[in-house]
Every structure is written in C-alpha cells, then in structure tokens.
Amino acid sequence: MSDIRSVCTLAAAVSMLACTHARPSSVGVEPGRVPASLYAGGADCAGGLTFHVYAYDADFYILRQAACTSFEKPLLYLLFGRDRALLLDTGDKGADVRTPVDTLVRAWLARNGRAATRLVVAHSHAHSDHVAGDTQFVRRPATDVVGRDTASVRAFFGVRRWPDDIGAIDLGERAVDVIPIPGHQMASIALYDRRTGILLTGDTFYPGRLFVRDTAAFARSISRLTAFAASHHVTHLLGAHIENTRTAYRDYPEGTVDQPAEHALDLGVAQLVELDSVVHAMRGRMTRTALRDMTIWPVVP
Ligand SMILES: [Zn+2]
Ligand SMILES: [Zn+2]
C-alpha cells in the first residue's frame, strides 16, 4: 500500500485529478445505506424482538442479534440474487433467527413475483456466536448449509489453493468473491459483493477487539485483504460485531450488553490500510495495540 500512498501524494502535488483518475471505476456499483446506528437494545427483551433488521437496499439486509439474547450482538447479512439468496452467519445461541430470515425471504419473493428461491447458509468463520443458529436451517427446504471446516468452505466456494486463491459464488446476476482470511479462526473468509461493493469481513476486521489466534496467518490475511481492496471498488467494510465506543481508541468492556454510544458499523479502506501497516510493522511480534477504531488483540493459545 505504500505504493498507492506515494502515487496519491505525488499526484496531489501535481493535480488532485490525477489521484482521482487512478482509482477503480465505480460504474455498476449499486448505492445503498448503512444505518448510522444499529443499536441492539439493552438487557430487557420486552417486545420479544430477537433480531433487528435493516435494509441496505431491496436485495441486501443487515440483521443484528438483540443484546438481550447475547452480549455478542453479532451481525448477519442476507443477500438476494436472481437465483439464490445467501445468509452469512446464523448468530449466537438463544435467538430465533429462522423467523426474521424467512420473513425477509417471503417479502422478497412477493416483491419479485417469485414462488421460491434457494438459500445458501454460509459462515464468516466457525465460532459459536456465528453458527449457533445453524440447527434452525438444517431441515429448511431448498437450503444448503455450508460446512464450518476449512475443507468444506474450500470445496463449496471453489477455492483451489487455501488461503491464497479466491473462490466465488454466483447468486444469479450477483457475483460474490470469497477471500480466505485465516488468523482469527482457521476457516475465516471475507465476502466481496460485486453488486454493492460491500466487503464483509466477519471477526477479522470490525470496530472492536480483533482477536488474533494465528499471528502469522492473520498478518498475511490482512495484507491480502488490503491488496484486494486496492484493486476493487470497496464501498463499505462491514464486520460481525461492534465493540468500540464513539470515543476514539476506547472499547466497551468485554461482556457489555447495552452499548448506547457505540461506534458506527461501517469502516473504510483507510482503516484497513492502517491496520495492515501497524501489523506489518510488528514483524510477527504482535502486541495488544489500540488503534482509533479497533484493537489488535493477540490471544495466547
Ligand atoms: Zn470469532
Ligand atoms: Zn464473533
């Protein structure tokens, strides 16, 4: 990324136009909106809502598990293509995830004059707060639940060499790239939705505590993800949790349920470049380090 920075710095000295001109084209990326707040509520489950649902656009939904059912408050994503829908993650235990997903699918089918569509259930990675709802989908008709281990993920998305190659899934007029990013967990992946330019980054990159279990793999994954972002039009980087507050460098204590002043969900490529630069400078000796919007948090096995 130092190359890109130097190109832009040089360009700025000559003409702002030159830097703008060097960026990838945005033609074809559909606009949408990430809500400024995705507040997951407090400890009281009054009203019975277990997931909060937000539309990025008519074919892309953000679901957030209510805080009263899990302090993790994971974020799930549901994308609709012409032929199939894809659900990324099924949440932590203690919540009905099937009902909100089925409600969104029914509404989409009605809007599009369709009788049915297949559903692919995939995972950003295999940790329990992202896969606990799988049991609610195993017997769902017309549904493919992708296995959680690396071999299953590789096979399903056609990743030839893990983690260096990129896999893909075509949902029908909606191509999604699958980028292996082990480090937080062995089977971690990022998804790049070419239609919206959204990069879904799971627990590997989000405004919170980036738990790193394999430091060497994590460093390589962040580096490859940064290279990917530099060569594609990325509109938002959306992860699977929010743990930082709106105050720079400060996260909520671990296990916090109610987060009324939490950080916005979406991050930009600049924060990814910053993370890559800091991780690279650590040269394999990773230490707990707070950045403005996230904390690098190595976990001793
Ligand atoms: Zn995780
Ligand atoms: Zn998690």
pLDDT of residue 23: 53
- Predicted TM-score of the model (pTM): 0.91
Distance between CA atoms of 134 and 122, rounded to whole angstroms? 9
What is the spatial distance between Cα 29 and Cα 25, in angstroms, rounded to a whole number? 9
Amino acid 112: pLDDT: 98
How close is the Cα of 72 to the center of ligand 1, in Å? Answer: 10
User: How remote is the CA of residue 241 from the centroid of ligand 2, in Å?
Assistant: 7
Distance 240 CA to ligand 2 centre (A): 6
Q: How far is the CA of 185 from the centre of ligand 1 (A)?
A: 7
247-282 as b/e: b if 16+ CB within 10 A: eeeebbeeeebbbeebbebbbebebbbbbbeebeee
Q: List, as ranges, residues with CB under 5 A of the ion ligand 1.
A: 127, 203
CA of 124 to the centre of ligand 1 (A): 8
- Cα of 139 vs centre of ligand 2, distance in Å, is 25
Amino acid occupying residue 108: W
As to burial, measured by CB atoms within 10 angstroms (0-12 exposed, 13-18 middle, 19+ buried), residue 126 is middle
Q: 26 C-alpha to center of ligand 2: Å?
A: 31
Tell me how far the alpha carbon of residue 159 lies from the centroid of ligand 1, in angstroms. Answer: 21
Rg of the chain over Cα atoms, rounded to whole angstroms, equals: 19
Angle made by CA atoms 92, 94, 99, in degrees to the nearest 5: 90
Give the CA distances from residue 91 to residues 134, 203, 256, 259, 265, in Å, rounded to whole numbers and listed in that order. Answer: 8, 13, 17, 18, 17
How far is the centre of ligand 2, averaged over its atoms, from the C-alpha of 115 (Å)?
34
Q: Which ligand is nearest to the CA of 92?
A: 2
Q: Which ligand is nearest to the CA of 126?
A: 1
Residue 53 CA to ligand 1 centre (angstroms):
21
**Sheet hosting strand 118-122, strand order edge to edge:** 51-57, 60-65, 75-80, 84-88, 118-122, 143-145
Q: Return the structure tokens found at 237.
A: 């980087």
Task: Please give the pLDDT value at position 13.
Answer: 39
> How many angstroms does the Cα of residue 93 sit away from the middle of ligand 2?
12
Cis amide leading into 163 (omega within 30): yes
**Binned average pLDDT, 10 residues per bin, the chain of 301 residues:** 37 40 63 96 86 98 97 98 98 97 98 98 98 98 98 98 98 98 98 98 98 98 98 97 98 97 98 98 95 96 66
Q: How far is the CA of 47 from the centre of ligand 2 (A)?
A: 25
